[in-house]
Each structure stands twice: as structure tokens, then as C-alpha cells.
Amino acid sequence: MDYLQTDALSVGYNSKTLISKVALSVQRGRIVTLIGPNGSGKSTILKTIIGQIPSISGSVFLDGADMRSRSRGDVARRMAILMTARMDPELMTCRDVVSTGRYPYTGHLGVLRPEDKAIVEQSLRETDALDFADRPFQSISDGQRQRVLLARALCQQPELIVLDEPTSFLDIRYKLELLTILKRMVREEYLAVLMSLHELDLAARVSDTVVCVAGDRIDRVGPPSEIFTPDYIAALYRMETGKYDPCFDSLEFVPDERTNRNLLCRLRRARRPGAADAPGRPRSGEHARHRRAADGVRPDARARHRARRGRFDRKIRSAAPIHDVA
């Protein structure tokens, strides 16, 4: 059964439709990933689904009921959100940040019961964040922050997690760690996951279903084996000078004929005898030395130097001519 489902959903801003007839479904225990070029509308779809921006038309169903019929507290107990925007809470430890995930259960005062504290500890442990739980949130790395925010989402005890570019700001090590934790949570907690990713290699490895967003429409939906083919990825991303390698799930740059001609002309000019010592052109290494010297001078120092030089030139021009004494 679909835990999340959209019906004739149209998304956009200021009553202007960007993508219409968005049909998505996410089951528990599965990961659905949105891919597509920058600006194609992946984040807009996710923000509409979580209610951050209103839909133009259509409906979003959460566990069989229209989300508009559910209270905010009910939605928060069923769906957790991890968006791209950086979170920068002041004077809060990582444990404090994770504890906010219990607010849908604690009431307005936010007082944690012993069972709430136990869930906080368990969430920190499952995301490998216990070692820095008592450090200030502002002092930890971007990869550690994402793990803390994932722990906060898990602390809500949701059945669905929505993530917008969760690997942004992360190096490859933390990307792999985060997605490994996410896969484990899906398997052990039987969660439904809907997310967007830029990295095609990661999307191919972690996704059960891939949704391809092409700017004004959902272009294709299917398993990774059907989506990640050279011809289709090249068409989706409008690649003119590159290709997709399905063996390594990577994009490779392939120069076109014009680029090759330009490179060949540059090589020929560089190989001409005496080209490096041509009049008006600095010899090899000379330009780099001048550039390094110029970069080391502050703009105000350059201005003072020009002013002094201008005064010196004026004095030379105004000086009386020197006559030879016979």
C-alpha cells in the first residue's frame, strides 16, 4: 500500500504552474529519488508535498488521508523533513537539536519524559552521533550536522522521511556514511523515504524507484536499471559535450569538434619556434612572476605608487632643460 501518494498535483509559485500532473507514490521500506537538471523543479515538488508552499491544484495523501484534513501535530508524527537550508541554532548542543524531534509528543512546554530521553539516545546511537552529542551544534562539521538532523528526524518516530539534497555540503566520505545510515533505517525501521539527489552514482545505488523531473513534467518513473542508460541520461540532462557511463554511474566530459579545433590551434601556436619570446609577449614564467608580485600588493599600495609616479613625471616634465656647458 502507498504510504504517500499524489493525485493530479500541480506545483508552482504565485499561482503559476511549473509542473502539472505530478504522480508520485512511496511505499514503506522503499526509497524514491527525484533526479533532474538544476532548476527542473525537484525542490518545488518536495516543498509542495510537505506543505511548505501551497499546491496549484491536486492533492497529497498521507497514509490514505488528504494531508489537508490532518492536524499539524498528526502530520509531524507521521512525516519528518530534512531540507537543504542550513540550520544554525545558537547555544544548543547536538542532543538539544535532536530532542526537538520529540516536540510533536511533548506538548507546548517541550518537557521530555524519561521515555522521550530514551528515544533521543536511541536516535543518536542509530545515526552514529553519540560521540559528539554534547558538543555545540555550531562547532561540528557539515557531515556531522547532517547526521544530527537525521537523528532528529528519526526521533520523531515517523513513517515517512522527506529529504531535499541531503548530501549537499558533504564530501564523499560523509555522503556515503549518510546514505548508508539512511538505507539501514529504511530496512530496520521500515520507513518510506522520498528525496532528491544531484549525484547520479549515489541515486543509482540507493534508490528503489527513480523519478525523472524534466522542468515542466515528470518525464519517466522506473527502477534504476531502466533509468540510468547513456541515451536517456544524456537526453534528460541535455548533454551536448559529454556522456553518461553506466558502468561507473558517472558523467564524463567529451569535447566537441569546435573545442577540439580550439585546443589544436593553441597547441600549434605554442609549438612555433620563438613563440614564447615573441615581441610584446612575456617569456615563459615571466608573466607568472609579475602576476604573483602584483597579487602581493594591496590596492591602496598600488594607488599610492601610481600617485608618486604621477608626481615624479610632472616634475620631470616641468623641470628646466639642461644645457651643456661649452
Q: Flag whether 246 is in a domain.
A: no
pTM of the predicted protein model: 0.73
Cα 48 to Cα 52: distance, rounded to the nearest angstrom: 6
Q: Where are the beta strands (DSSP E) in the chain?
A: 2-13, 16-22, 25-27, 31-35, 57-62, 65-66, 79-82, 160-164, 192-196, 209-213, 218-222, 242-245, 250-253
Q: What mean pLDDT do residues 214-236 have?
A: 93
Instruction: Kindly report the CATH number assigned to the domain that includes residue 28.
Output: 3.40.50.300
Q: What mean pLDDT do residues 306-316 have?
A: 56
Greater pLDDT, 148 or 321: 148
Q: How far is CA 205 from CA 38, 174, 176, 236, 246, in A?
A: 21, 16, 11, 19, 12
The total number of structural domains that make up the chain = 1
Q: Flag whether 261 is in a domain.
A: no
Both ends of the chain: CA-CA distance in Å?
112
Pull the grid cell for residue 297. Answer: 600588493
Phi-psi region of 23 (alpha: psi -120 to 50; beta: other; left: phi over 0): beta
Cα 226 to Cα 109: distance, rounded to the nearest angstrom: 50
Amino acid symbol at 319: A
Polymer length in residues for the chain: 326
Give the phi and the psi of residue 142 in degrees, each rounded to 5. -60, -40
Q: Flag whether 291 is in a domain.
A: no
pLDDT digits (tens, 9 = 90+) for 119-159: 999 999 999 999 999 999 999 998 899 999 999 999 999 99
Q: Flag whether 86 is in a domain.
A: yes
Domain that holds residue 30: 2-223
CB atoms within 10 A of CB 250: 13
pLDDT digits (tens, 9 = 90+) for 15-72: 899 999 999 999 999 999 999 999 999 999 999 999 999 999 999 999 999 999 999 9
